[in-house]
């Protein structure tokens, strides 16, 4: 009997939008978005605009993005500022087999399909995979 991994055909993820950010190159972005409260914009594609309904009820959002310029062959990385080498799953490195980024941002404004946010560590042109509201009662202890 094949293992679940062997029989699973994989996943297909379709971006829902794209980032407009002052960070143009991988070295430009901070290690964590909350370390540099810079404003960015997220443009949601027209077919997903209806999904924004009710989002203004929240002041913080989780942004899931695809770090498309990260290395996918890294399993061990150095920890900047902390020293030592660790497996990628014990770090927050964007270099990993599936470079999915997760950042908690401040929602500043929604204007049509454009979200203005603060604290996003994604590069200009980064695909957005999903948005979820931050619920303090559920998402923190």
Indicate whether 81 belongs to any domain.
no
Tell me which residue has tokens 């062959």. Answer: 73
pLDDT at 30: 59
Kind plus residue range of the DSSP H or E element containing 61: strand 60-66
pLDDT at 33: 59
Total residue length of the chain: 141
Indicate whether 106 belongs to any domain.
yes
Rg (the chain; Cα; Å): 16
Indicate whether 119 belongs to any domain.
yes
pLDDT at 64: 96
Band (pLDDT 50/70/90 cuts) for residue 95 is confident
Indicate whether 67 belongs to any domain.
yes
Digit-coded pLDDT (tens) for 10-53: 778 899 999 999 877 766 665 665 666 889 999 999 999 999 99
> Exposure string (b/e) for 99-109, b if CB count within 10 Å is 16 or more?
bebebbbbbee
Owning domain of residue 121: 18-71+98-135
Nearest alpha carbon to residue 118 among 128, 103, 129, 130: 103
Indicate whether 2 belongs to any domain.
no
CA distance 80 to 86: 11
Indicate whether 59 belongs to any domain.
yes
| Structural domains of the chain, count | 1
CA distance 75 to 87: 6
* Neighbouring C-beta atoms of residue 54, cutoff 10 Å: 8
Pick the residue with more confidence: 38 or 60? 60
Indicate whether 141 belongs to any domain.
no
Give me the chain's average pLDDT, please. Answer: 85
**Residue 37 sits in a domain of what CATH number?**
2.40.30.70
Q: 5 CB contacts (<8 Å, ≥6 apart)?
A: none
Indicate whether 36 belongs to any domain.
yes
Give me the residues paired with residue 138 across strands.
Answer: none
Digit-coded pLDDT (tens) for 99-114: 888 999 999 999 999 9
């Amino acid at each position: 009997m094949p293992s679940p991994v062997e029989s699973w055909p994989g996943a297909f993820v379709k971006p829902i939008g794209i980032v407009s950010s002052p960070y143009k190159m991988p070295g430009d972005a901070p290690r964590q978005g909350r370390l540099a409260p810079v404003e960015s914009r997220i443009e949601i594609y027209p077919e997903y605009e209806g999904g924004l309904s009710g989002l203004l009820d929240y002041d913080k959002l989780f942004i899931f993005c695809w770090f498309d310029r990260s290395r996918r062959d890294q399993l061990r990385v150095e920890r900047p500022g902390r020293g030592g080498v660790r497996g990628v799953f014990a770090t927050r490195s964007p270099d990993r087999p599936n470079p999915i980024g997760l950042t908690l941002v401040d929602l500043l404004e929604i204007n049509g399909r454009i979200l203005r946010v603060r604290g996003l560590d994604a590069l200009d042109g980064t695909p957005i995979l999903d948005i979820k509201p931050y619920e303090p009662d559920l998402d923190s202890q």
